[in-house]
Chain A
């Protein structure tokens, strides 16, 4: 049982406020991904949970125990680092067994656990090697095996796949998900890669400028961004935004077209739609095509709608070229609205 609670955690580096009043609860055995651009504070938050950094204020609880005054070794955590941090002077076997040796476990138990986790990570052939004789992917496997061998309550991962090449990353991602699901540990995973976040997470915490702007399931984050920042960050390409003018009875005019929107909103709102939720039709947003990028399965079409950039992912057999005029109809149940003042979603 290792639920993690982060209560009012803030971190200052001198005059720089890296984290503002973070509150987050991560359920037992949940896979939580901290997602954000570099400098958003996600690694700092992870390091505070690990005990490698101390919070300026606030509390960290793991498994019902307050741990923010404890050193990393007493928190029941294991961590996987971005640059693997495999000890170069020890063999793979001794690397994986390092934490177990520190716990003074008997040799037989160390051997059993090392062999089991090495088997899980498919590195049982490499146990006698040194880190200098391993590829990046193999080192990453050693680092994960070393963390798993500790049988920790919580496993913390700081961009563990970002130093791997694209193909290997894909392979390791799938493997990590399987291995971690079986290990029944709570996992916190830091990444800037939203595809990684989507594919791994039970829940994603999107971070921006030292705050958690949304913590929800991947589908929820994708479909119902809580803030304009999330809408503009998640998705490749992200959501399109257009200004909307108020009409009667919760109807809003967007680029000459009328759509049903929030009735309660005061003043102005922004209309938002994902590029893949758009189809060309007879009537819709008038769009002047600027650029057509064939992506194989789809066409990424960049247009000009009402003076704003607007991107649509359309069927690849559509015959369209730069300079054409299109009428783009949004799928009405996928339209989202944001208050430009607060940047929050309004419904």
Chain B
């Protein structure tokens, strides 16, 4: 009697089990979606140039640094890498220097149009960069900062600022105003209260926000390709040489581009969640 009943009616335990299966399958699928291409990239980067061009492929890396060595010796790569780092560092400094005060203002002061301001910050991301890149290139050529690291960093800063503002806004909002007020009553000015109390508390978050700006600049290819000619960044340089370069160079280049971004984003992931108001875990 009981046996037949359980045969017909799906018990809550069964439903839970199939739900769990679906959940786990989705997790595995999504992980595979991200990890498998990265794994292939890793294999091919760590294989000798011959193995990269051979078929069938091995699924185990050879740990041959031939491709990477070739990549490192490729003419112009090191300059491009240096440019990338320079532009990204400039972007990092400028986006924090501009974004953090804006984030502070948003979190601490009430002013008319505050909601609109927050929206507009996000809307800057709604403009497709190709639309802006050509007029920008023309303007840069007329005014001078074309084909310079600084000029490109300016554009990247515009891209990074919305995130810098939103991340620092949520960081500042997480610090009770009473801490600042206590500092004021204990002899601080608004500025010293910031440097002595607020800044030490948000330093890890500011670092994360800076790294994120770095990654945004590091990854950006379109503006870099349009706005620089001699001083190409790594992304623009690779894009330019993609068609003509051998396969192992492409893999090695892709690998060098992706690894820093991956490591950095992994390091700052909890602050990126904070940006969207999800509690840090």
Contact = CB atoms under 8 A, between A and B. Distances in A.
Interface in B62-96: none
Contacts of B183: 87, 98
Contacts of B186: 73, 78, 98-99, 102, 146, 150
B32 interface: no
B58 interface: no
A236 interface: no
B189 interface: yes
Given A83-B176, A85-B176, A87-B179, A50 B185 contact: yes
Given A51-B184, A78-B185, A102-B186, 10 more contacts: A51-B185, A71-B184, A71-B189, A73-B184, A85-B179, A87-B179, A87-B183, A103-B187, A143-B182, A156-B185
A102 B185 contact: no
Contacts of A146: 182, 186
Contacts of A85: 176, 178-179, 181-182
A201 B91 CA distance: 58
B102 to A, nearest CB: 24
Interface string A59-97: 000000000000111000111011101011100000000
B201 interface: yes
Interface in B158-187: 176, 178-179, 181-187
Interface residues of A, number: 24
A170 interface: no
The 8 residue pairs across chains A and B that have the minimum distance between CB atoms: A102-B187, A99-B186, A85-B182, A85-B178, A72-B184, A79-B185, A73-B187, A72-B185
A26 to B, nearest CB: 18
B265 interface: no
A89 B187 contact: no
B59 to A, nearest CB: 47
16 contacts: A50-B185, A52-B185, A71-B184, A71-B189, A72-B185, A73-B186, A78-B186, A81-B178, A81-B182, A82-B178, A83-B176, A87-B197, A88-B201, A98-B183, A98-B196, A102-B188
B200 interface: yes
A102 B185 CA distance: 11
A79 B181 contact: yes
Interface of B: 176, 178-179, 181-189, 192, 196-197, 200-201
For chain B, what secondary structure do more than half of its interface residues adopt (helix, strand, loop), or is it mixed? helix
A73 B201 contact: no
Interface in A28-60: 50-52
A138 B181 CA distance: 20
A6 to B, nearest CB: 18
B164 to A, nearest CB: 22
Given A79-B182, A83-B176, A89 B188 contact: no
Contacts of B178: 81-83, 85
Contacts of B188: 73, 102
Contacts of A83: 176, 178
Contacts of B189: 71, 73
Contacts of B196: 98
Contacts of B197: 87, 89
A50 B181 CA distance: 10
A77 B183 CA distance: 12
Contacts of A71: 184, 189
B191 to A, nearest CB: 11
A52 B188 CA distance: 12
Nearest to B175: A88
Contacts of A150: 186-187
A103 B187 CA distance: 7
A81 B178 CA distance: 7
